Amino acid sequence: MSNATSNTETVHRVSFLDKDSLSIPILKILQADGTTFENAVLPVIDQDLAAKIYDTCVFTRVLDERMLAAQRQGRISFYMTCTGEEAAVVGSVAALDQDDVILAQYREHAAIRYRGFTTEQFMNQMFSNEKDLGKGRQMPIHYGCEALNYQTISSPLATQIPQATGVGYSLKMQGKRNVAICYFGEGAASEGDFHAGLNMAAVLNSPVIFFCRNNGYAISTPTNEQFAGNGIASRGVGYGMHTIRVDGNDMLAVMAATQQARAYALEHNKPVLIEAMTYRLGAHSSSDDPSGYRSKDEEAKWQQHDPVKRFKLWLINKGWLAESDDAAMYEKYREEVLAAVKVAEKLPAPGIDEIIEDVLDEPTPRLKQQLTELKQHIKKYPDSYPRSAGRD
């Protein structure tokens, strides 16, 4: 039947629907004090998994704190934090299989860490040294790692969303029991690519989890200037997909939703949209100063919903963590990160030959000629090109 809609009810006087016609509940499992809500259905989680999740959170906090400081000292040029959104990112990645493909926006380094990205690998990328998997070509925080099924970050927003639809479809075609997960902010969800990507996924039956971190701001733009509808979740319904809204600062709620989203996506070869309601506690990036567009009071209010603290209280309640172990974890990672910074910043930059690699599968003759000319020029003025001088 063409022009099929699922709704067959008819009415005989004008009545409009508005954004409140669709009431979207928010899943909450963990309370502020670290106990769970009565009747809450917990995700599948045991002590080892909980420990890995918490470890990732602590590492991410430390990394953010140290690298922001390193940026202020001029040691790296740029940084973005995940602070305040750890539960959204770690809770979701912990619900996945290692072979599920991640397409992230840029604020999800906790997810690549969870997968096994080492402290050294983080530093090599941020310091653009010769060991950076991305060969020093992109700004700090643009991680990517094939071995960890984490596609390299691209700065243009939302481009990864329709790509995720393609990745999901390819997983299905290749008979893999895996899904794609695509992270993006509520700001990026305004881009045309978002609408194209979701619509295609729903129509083409692609097993992909669209994971929106609704953190309240896109740089300085608050959500009320970003969208007028009922958040991002209502759009999932509009495109005809399974949709859920969760408390993005609640590790267990995010996990539970993502575990079930994954199971559903796999079983039915269909997309799912998760909207995680959270807050960007830090600045947009190291180039931004949020005091120009939001109040300290507002930030302080959200500090009280700190997702890492809430999860920690749950671990302590369960007897899976002791306060003293916690302090030791932070200390261990502070030392580890600092030591890795010192090593990474001393490693040389990638060689000048890298400049023409990977443009195509092989450099064209014209590009080779450009490199030859560039090298001759650098030889003539070695002092003016310190990164490449004296190195072939």
Partner 1 sequence: MAKINMLQAINDALTIAMETDDKAVIFGEDVGHFGGVFRATSGLQDKFGRDRCFNTPLTEQGIAGFANGLASNGMTAIAEIQFADYIFPAFDQIVNESAKFRYRSGNEFNVGGITYRTPYGGGIAGGHYHSQSPEAYFTQTPGLKVVVPRNAYQAKGLLLASIRDKNPVVFFEPKRLYRASVGEVPDEAYEIELGKAEVVQEGTDITVLAWGAQMEIVDEAAKMAAKKGISCEVIDLRTLAPWDVDTVAASVKKTGRLVINHEAPLTGGFAGEIAATIQQECFLYLESPISRVCGLDTPYPLIHEKEYMPDALKTFEAIKASMKY
Ligand X SMILES: Cc1ncc(C[n+]2csc(CCOP(=O)(O)OP(=O)(O)O)c2C)c(N)n1
Residues that bind partner 1 (CB under 8 A): 77-78, 128, 135-139, 142, 154-157, 187-188, 190-193, 218-221, 225-227, 287-288, 292-293, 349-350, 352, 354-356, 359, 364, 366-367, 370-371, 374, 377-378, 380-381, 384-385, 387-388
Report the nearest approach of partner 1 to the CB of residue 301 (Å).
20
* Chosen from partner 1, ligand X, none, partner binding at 77 (C-beta under 5 to 8 Å by type): partner 1
Candidate ranges 38-46, 126-134, 182-190, 308-316; the one touching ligand X (CB under 6 A): 182-190
The interface with ligand X within residues 273-312 (CB under 6 A) comprises 280, 284
Residue with the two structure tokens 């099924």: 149
Q: How far apart are CA 249 and CA 158, in angstroms?
A: 23
**Which CB atom, from 268 or from 377, has the smaller least distance to partner 1?**
377
Report the nearest approach of ligand X to the CB of residue 18 (Å).
24
Under 8 Å between Cβ of 302 and 84: yes
Indicate which single residue of 53, 218, 272, 315 sits in contact with ligand X (rule: CB under 6 A). 218
Which helix (H) or strand (E) covers residue 181, if one does?
Answer: strand 180-185
Indicate which single residue of 150, 217, 279, 333 sits in contact with ligand X (rule: CB under 6 A). 217
Report the nearest approach of partner 1 to the CB of residue 158 (Å).
8
10 Å CB burial of residue 8 (0-12, 13-18, 19+) is exposed
**Which CB atom, from 327 or from 359, has the smaller least distance to partner 1?**
359
Report in angstroms the alpha-carbon separations of 218 from 64, 203, 276, 343: 19, 29, 15, 34
* Chosen from ligand X, partner 1, none, partner binding at 215 (C-beta under 5 to 8 Å by type): ligand X
Q: How far apart are CA 234 and CA 271, in angstroms?
A: 15
Helix, strand, coil shares, percent, the chain, to 5: 45, 10, 45
| Paired strand residues for 102 | 150, 181
Under 8 Å between Cβ of 192 and 255: no
Q: Is 242 a catalytic residue?
A: no
Q: Max alpha carbon distance in the chain (Å)?
A: 84
Report in angstroms the alpha-carbon separations of 201 from 151, 158, 265: 19, 15, 11
Report the nearest approach of ligand X to the CB of residue 107 (Å).
4
Q: Is 245 a catalytic residue?
A: no
Under 8 Å between Cβ of 42 and 254: no
The interface with ligand X within residues 196-215 (CB under 6 A) comprises 213, 215
Q: How far apart are CA 105 and CA 86, in angstroms?
A: 14
**Which CB atom, from 136 or from 207, has the smaller least distance to partner 1?**
136
Report the nearest approach of partner 1 to the CB of residue 140 (Å).
9
Q: Is 305 a catalytic residue?
A: no
Parallel, antiparallel or unpaired: strands 217-218 and 208-214: unpaired
Enumerate helices (H) and strands (E) in the chain, giving the number of each: 12, 8
The interface with ligand X within residues 139-158 (CB under 6 A) comprises 155-157
**Which CB atom, from 106 or from 150, has the smaller least distance to ligand X?**
106
Characterise 137 by phi-psi region: left (phi > 0), alpha (psi -120 to 50), beta (else). alpha
Catalytic-role residue among 72, 268, 293, 377: 293
The interface with ligand X within residues 99-128 (CB under 6 A) comprises 107
* Chosen from partner 1, ligand X, none, partner binding at 43 (C-beta under 5 to 8 Å by type): none
**Which CB atom, from 161 or from 355, has the smaller least distance to ligand X?**
161
Report CA Rg, the chain: 23
Q: List the one residue out of 266, 239, 248 whose CA is nearest residue 162.
A: 239
Catalytic-role residue among 213, 235, 242, 280: 280
What residue ranges bind ligand X (CB under 6 A)? 107, 155-157, 184-188, 213, 215, 217-219, 280, 284
Catalytic sites, residue numbers: 280, 284, 293
